[in-house]
Amino acid sequence: MLKAEKERVILDARALMGEEPLIRKRVLMQCMEMLTVGRKDIASVHIRELEQLLQKEGNKELCLPYRWKARKEYGQLVLFREGMEEAGKEEGLAEIPVFLGSGVCRIEVPGLGMVDFSVLEKGELPIFWRKPQIISEKTYTEWLDYDRITKALVFRTRKPGDYLTIKDLCRKKLKKFMIEEKIPKNERESLYVLAEGSHIVWVPGRRISEYYKITEQTKYILKVQLGGSFKCQKE
């Protein structure tokens, strides 16, 4: 199970150690990429240190770049900013990372509930992929071009500079889009969107960015499902 709070990420240490080494390294790198906003000064040596920490018995702690720390405790690996752990708990959720190292993931998003992600080959996709699939009042599925996603995905509230791509891949500011969609101002501040950097991939219930829509050239699909039922851990 994965959890993300402001200034803190929690990983299931036992589940992570059960993954293949390559997947484990990828998940750890995605964590560090998310927490440090890029990989500058984050090297393979830091990933090795995190793996060594996972293998140690008892509760242990490790210092990382940018005043981040890693702590193994009670079967969890906790990544947090030095001196900010308690503040992060009080202020609540900010960014919720999507870790796809094993190809599937489940997270809980404020206002949306449980959201499931899975990576599929295009041949596995239902023939009705061209339109959003309404399964029930409590379940909603979208299909995205996974080939076009090159950075870490997060669910978060809006930030200055956010944009979507619309017709002919022209950019539209997220703020303008929300105004045009008549989303109340108080809701704009709390609405969680799926983002890749400043590029908004999906505004739940509203729109997918044109850039991430499936095409004839798409090879891999990212399925995003609200109200889904599968678990992130391998059975």
Residue 68 belongs to a domain: yes
Question: Domain end: 92, 113, 147, which one?
Answer: 92
pLDDT per position in the chain (235 positions), as tens? Answer: 456 655 678 788 888 888 888 989 888 888 887 777 655 667 788 889 999 999 888 778 888 877 788 988 767 788 887 765 444 444 444 678 888 877 788 888 888 888 999 999 877 766 555 444 443 344 488 899 999 999 889 999 999 999 999 988 899 999 999 999 888 776 788 899 999 999 999 999 889 999 999 988 999 999 999 874 433 333 3
118 - beta bridge partners? 104, 223
CATH code, domain carrying 24? 3.30.465.60
Residue 99 belongs to a domain: no
Q: Tell me, yes or no, whether 109 and 88 share the same domain.
A: no
Q: Which tokens in the block code for residue 46?
A: 């830091």
Q: Tell me, yes or no, whether 39 and 116 share the same domain.
A: no
Report the DSSP pairing between strands 220-226 and 113-121. antiparallel
CATH code, domain carrying 135? 3.50.40.10
Domain region containing 44? 2-92
pLDDT at 83: 67
What is the gyration radius of the CA atoms in the chain, in angstroms?
18
Q: Tell me, yes or no, whether 72 and 132 share the same domain.
A: no
Residue 59 belongs to a domain: yes
pLDDT at 38: 54
Question: Domain end: 68, 92, 116, which one?
Answer: 92
pTM (2 decimals)?
A: 0.58
Q: Tell me, yes or no, whether 88 and 138 share the same domain.
A: no
Q: Tell me, yes or no, whether 16 and 42 share the same domain.
A: yes
Angle between helices 44-55 and 21-36 (to 10 degrees): 120
Residue 150 belongs to a domain: yes
Q: Which residue type is seen at 222?
A: L
Q: Tell me, yes or no, whether 120 and 42 share the same domain.
A: no
pLDDT at 90: 41
Q: Tell me, yes or no, whether 136 and 173 share the same domain.
A: yes
pLDDT at 119: 92
Q: Tell me, yes or no, whether 85 and 123 share the same domain.
A: no
136 - beta bridge partners? 139
Q: Tell me, yes or no, whether 111 and 85 share the same domain.
A: no
In 3D space, the residue among 119, 124, 126, 115 whose CA is nearest the CA of residue 154 turns out to be: 115
Number of domains in the chain: 2
Residue 231 belongs to a domain: no
- Which are the contacts of 185, defined by CB distance < 8 A and separation ≥ 6? none
Residue 97 belongs to a domain: no
Q: Tell me, yes or no, whether 132 and 204 share the same domain.
A: yes
Residue 235 belongs to a domain: no
Q: Tell me, yes or no, whether 9 and 108 share the same domain.
A: no
Question: Domain end: 47, 62, 92, which one?
Answer: 92
Q: Tell me, yes or no, whether 80 and 112 share the same domain.
A: no
- Which are the contacts of 77, defined by CB distance < 8 A and separation ≥ 6? 10, 11, 12, 13, 16, 50, 53, 54, 70, 71
